[in-house]
Structure 1
Amino acid sequence: MRARNALFAIPLALGLVACGAGNDGDTSGGRRPVKTAPGTEVTVADVGLGSILVDGKGRTLYAFTKDKDAASNCDAECIAVWPALTSPAPATAGQGIRRSLLREAKHSGGAVHVTYGDWPLYYYVGDTGPGDVNGQGLDGEWFAVAPDGKLVRKAA
Structure 2
Amino acid sequence: MSRTTALVALTAAAIALSACSTVEAPAPAVPRAAPVTELQRPPGTIVSANSTARLGTVVVDGLGFTLYRFDGDSARPSTATCEGPCTETWEPVPAADPITAEGVDDEAVGTVERPDGQAQLTIGGWPVYRHAGEEPGATDGHGVEGKWFAVTPDGDKAAA
TM-score, reference length from structure 1: 0.69
Unaligned segments of structure 2, at least 5 residues: 1-41
Aligned to 2:120: 113
Amino acid of the structure 2 residue aligned with 1:142: W
Q: Which of these residues, 42, 46, 62, is aligned with residue 47 of structure 2?
A: 42
What is the percentage of aligned positions where both structures have the same residue? 35
Amino acid of the structure 2 residue aligned with 1:59: F
CA distance in 2, matches of 1:148, 1:109: 26
Q: Would you say the 8 A contact 1:144–1:151 is kept in 2?
A: yes
Render the CA deviation track for 1:13-49: whole Å, top value 9, x for unaligned.
xxxxxxxxxxxxxxxxxxxxxxxx9421010111121
Q: How far did residue 153 of structure 1 move?
A: 3.8
CA distance in 1, matches of 2:68, 2:47: 12
Amino acid of the structure 1 residue aligned with 2:114: H
CA distance in 1, matches of 2:132, 2:108: 25
The structure-2 alpha-carbon separation of the partners of 1:105 and 1:90, relative to structure 1 and needing over 3 Å to count, comes to farther
Q: Would you say the 8 A contact 1:45–1:53 is kept in 2?
A: yes
Q: Which of these residues, 32, 56, 74, is aligned with residue 82 of structure 2?
A: 74
Amino acid of the structure 2 residue aligned with 1:93: A
How many pairs are equivalent?
116
CA RMSD in angstroms, aligned pairs only: 1.5
CA distance in 2, matches of 1:54, 1:122: 10
TM-score, reference length from structure 2: 0.68
Q: Which of these residues, 84, 88, 94, is aligned with residue 96 of structure 2?
A: 88
